[in-house]
Amino acid sequence: MKVRYFTIPNLLTLSNLLCGSLAVVSALEGDLVRAFWLVMLSAVCDFFDGFAARLLNQYSALGVQLDSLADMVSFGLVPSTVVFSILRTLEFGGECGAWCYVAFIVVLFSALRLARFNIDESQHEEFLGLPTPACSIFFVAVGWLFAKGYLVGIAPIWFALAAIAMATMLIVPVRMFSFKIKSFGWRGNELRFTFVILSVAALLLWQVKALPCVILAYIVISLVRHLTVKESKE
């Protein structure tokens, strides 16, 4: 079987993996600001690798598997190391303790989430459970806020509970809207366009500080939408 390793989509995916790996190192070193920006770069590469594959007609089985492996690091391991770093700093003054390892529930559930995505043909237009990039962006944004001193006074237990809650959202059987659009018309994209417009406005006003709220709003809207659709079918 002939395999092309270094196509443009694969190079973008490898860039995602590289940025994610560097973000892990940054988080473990306590540099949560750098970890945040590296994950943002990972997210950009993750978006454009699929775009490039469609544009250049370079879809491959290798690319699909490589994408999940890269996501496992950038959007699974990174958020766990960020929460681990926060808990280590708050609870033990830089020393590792058993409580800190609660953070790694995120990477475990991310593995389950990504594995299910690879075998679930129903997730082309909607996601089942919280997408791993959204989970990762939430936690690296929280890490950025922590590093900048915005979260002073918050007890460690709340960061641990946030890790457990977000990890659970990764695998719950709740349909969450995606941003994959088939056309740029308003009809059929009302929710997506409205959410994007409001999110961009919030980011312009409050920059990074708005990101956790944007992710939480995405979860709440998806939950309400899921329950509404479920009730209408019943």
Asked if 70 contacts 46 with a C-beta cutoff of 8 angstroms, the reply is: yes
| Residue 62 included in any domain | yes
- The rounded distance, in Å, linking the Cα atoms of 41 and 43 is 5
Q: What's the domain count of the chain?
A: 1
Per-residue pLDDT of the chain (234 residues; tens, 9 = 90+): 677 888 999 999 999 999 999 999 999 999 999 999 999 999 999 989 888 877 788 888 888 899 999 999 999 999 999 999 999 998 765 566 777 899 999 999 999 999 998 888 776 678 899 999 999 999 999 999 999 999 988 989 999 999 999 999 999 999 998 877 666 677 767 888 999 999 999 999 999 999 999 999 999 999 998 888 766 665
| Residue 209 included in any domain | no
Helix spans in 29-171 (H): 32-56, 61-72, 78-92, 105-119, 132-147, 156-171
| Residue 109 included in any domain | yes
- pLDDT of 203: 96
CATH value at residue 29: 1.20.120.1760
Number of H helices, E strands in the chain: 9, 2
| Residue 199 included in any domain | no
Domain boundaries, position 164? 8-174
